[in-house]
Chain A
Amino acid sequence: MKYPLKSVVLSIAALIHVSTWAQSTIAPPPVNDAVYQAFGQKAGIEALMEDFFVRLQADPRTGPFFKNANRTRLVFQLTEQLCHESGGPCTYKGAPMRGAHASMNIGKEDFNALVEVLQASMDSKGIPFTAQNAMLARLAPMHRDIITKN
């Protein structure tokens, strides 16, 4: 190509145009409850969240954020939320993510640390890797409302 810089600039322009479309596309709700079943339905999710909460308080990276958390209420809210996100028959009625996390000054390393703690929890319950990623794919976009630092 004779004018490579022009090509690169055009490529970037094309990508930005495509990205405007890409960002407007929102993932539809799960088409079936396969992930919900893989997690052991509501009882399985609740047991997972109980385990998750214990790990969150124990991990030195996430512990400070959950030091004063109300265990019963948080386990209940998380169970409803993950049940709903995995295609189960639940409704999340808790606070919106942005409001619930606004004052916590959560950075990306904190968010990723929580993901790792959740992965450890899911591993301990024997949830298959593909089902874990399907669930994480539903939860990951919440980072935009949760991460406020940097």
Chain B
Amino acid sequence: MPFSTLLNGLLRTVVAMAAAAGAAGSAHAEQGKLLLTGGVSSIDGAAGGGLTPWAVIGSYATQGQIGTTAHITAVNTQNYNLTTYGVAVGWNERVELSLAKQDFNAGDNLAPLGLTGLHLKQDILGVKVRLTGDAVLDSDTWMPQIALGIEHKSADAGQLGPTLFGVLGAKKTGTDVYLSATKLFLAQSFLVNGTLRATKANQNGLLGFGGAQGDGVKLQPEISIAYLLNKKLVVGAEYRAKPDNLNRSVLGVGALKEDDWFDVFVAWAPSKNLSLTLAYVDLGKIAPAVQPKRQTGTYLSAQLAF
């Protein structure tokens, strides 16, 4: 089944669930989680922080419930922008299914390669399973909530495709496998997440997977910290290490060097139906051979939950 058909079907389901929830009134809404404890939507579609998946199961559904979220995110740096949108379903606080689409606008940065108005796109199917622990309620132990997840990614590099999947040796699809541990130190209002991701993805998958000079799966650490200012407001920071497989490509050493990602964020949830996240992101250099400027800018995301 084509990805867009799957996504459209899921979007229709989300809308139907939203309508049903609205009609039934809030007393019947399956939103048993405490505010903000379902995380926000990461750019890959999984629940967590903005850049990295956490061990929390998405939506406000808790045990015995099923819930949905839909998100849209816009990232704008000096020379590029990225749009992501997707849906996720959380079931029984045990399993999370997510679908997301990414559209990276490279503009005319790759004009030296003869590529103007280039868009790099990717579809991501995510499955996450909570293995053990409760990030919020296990406040008397050091035990975190732990989840195992996969993100199956399929890249569409547009006009760059023949080069990327040709001489550069990247693959069109790849599957990230990750393990996340999340804990809210409730007495300190402080949350920590650590994620370990096994991946071949170049620039998260937007530049395909692996390369002619380096095809191995790399283990990349990702960390988020957050501080709860009040029930509805949280501030934090994230860091994501990146594999850098295309550093020594045929385009030259360092031409497609990849940097680690970093952000500081604030997330606001006025209700269990909406959260807004604003962040300052540093995506490092992206294709520095054609665009040497370090890419920093804003990240803005909205998530609806039903």
Contact = CB atoms under 8 A, between A and B. Distances in A.
Contacts of B34: 112, 115-116
B32 A108 contact: yes
Interface in B208-231: 216-219, 228-231
A6 to B, nearest CB: 10
A82 B134 CA distance: 22
A149 B62 CA distance: 12
Interface stretch (B40-48, B106-114, B135-143): B135-143
Interface string B130-155: 01111011111111101010000000
B65 A109 contact: yes
Contact of A129 (B134, B189, B198, B218): B189
Contacts of A26: 140-141
Interface in A125-150: 129-130, 133-134, 136-138, 140-141, 143, 147, 149-150
Given A2-B216, A129-B231, A150-B92, A108 B64 contact: yes
B219 A22 contact: no
Given A11-B179, A12-B148, A129 B217 contact: no
B133 A140 contact: no
Given A15-B146, A19-B132, A27 B139 contact: yes
Q: Is the interface of A mostly helix, strand, loop or mixed?
A: helix
Contacts of A4: 177, 198, 217-219
Contacts of B148: 8, 12
Interface residues of A, number: 40
Interface string A101-112: 000000111001
A134 to B, nearest CB: 5
A7 B139 contact: no
Nearest to B183: A22
B96 interface: no
B186 A107 contact: no
B132 to A, nearest CB: 7
B7 to A, nearest CB: 28
Interface in B33-76: 33-34, 62-65
A140 B32 contact: no
B219 A133 contact: no
A23 interface: yes
Contacts of B62: 107-109, 112
A129 B230 contact: yes
B181 interface: yes
B231 to A, nearest CB: 7
Contacts of B186: 133, 136-137, 140
**B138, B143, B219, B229 interface centre (most CB from chain A within 10 Å):** B143
Nearest to A142: B137
Contacts of A112: 32-34, 62
Contacts of A141: 137-141
A130 B148 CA distance: 31
B145 to A, nearest CB: 11
B93 interface: yes
Contacts of A109: 30, 32, 62-65
Nearest to B146: A15
7 contacts: A19-B143, A107-B32, A107-B63, A119-B231, A140-B137, A140-B186, A150-B63
List of 10 A-B pairs having minimum Cβ-Cβ separation, nearest first: A109-B32, A137-B187, A4-B217, A137-B186, A4-B198, A22-B142, A137-B139, A141-B140, A22-B143, A27-B140
